Amino acid sequence: SGDCLGQCTVLEHAIPTGGAAPIKQLPRRRAWRERELIKDEVDKMLKQGVIEPAQSPWSSPIVLVKKKDGKWRFCIDYRRLNEVTTKDVYPLPRIDDALSKLEGAALFSVVDLQSGYWQVPVAEADKPKTAFVTPDGLYQFRV
C-alpha cells in the first residue's frame, strides 16, 4: 500500500556536529488551517513509524511550501542544523558521469523509492538532532 514504507538495513544516516551546542528554535505562528495540515502530516508519519515523540534539546521549525498544484508540502527548516553539521569532503558524482557509465550496458534497472529519504534509519545518537517543533509538540525522525 502507499502507506507502507520499506527500510534500508545496510547503513544508517549520521549527522556529525562535533561539539556544537544544540540548536533550539520555536515553532512558527500558524493559521488554524495550517495547524490542521501539520497535525494530519504528523499523525501520518507517526502511523508509518517515521517519527516518534521527542524530548530533545534540538528543534527546528516546520515550513509549509505551496506546490504547483495548490497543495502544501510539509518541510522542516534545518538550515541552522546544516550550519553546524560537518560537510562531506567527497563530492557526489556528476549525473552526466554516472549516465556515461551506462553506455553500452546490456542491462540496467530503475528504482523508484517512495519517500526514499524516510527509508534510511537515523543513527540512534543523532535522532535528537532531527527534532522538529509543531504547535502541538516535539517529534524526531526514526528514519
Kindly report the pTM of this predicted structure. Answer: 0.81
User: Hey, what domains does the chain have and what are their CATH numbers?
Assistant: 32-86+110-141 (3.10.10.10)
Q: pLDDT higher for 25 or 107?
A: 25
* Amino acid 19: pLDDT: 94
Q: Which three cell numbers stand for residue 82?
A: 546544516
Cell 549520521, residue? Answer: 14
Longest dimension (CA), the chain: 56
pLDDT band per the 50, 70, 90 thresholds, residue 116: low
Amino acid symbol at 30 = R
pLDDT higher than threshold 50 for residue 87: yes
Give me the pLDDT at residue 130, please. Answer: 98
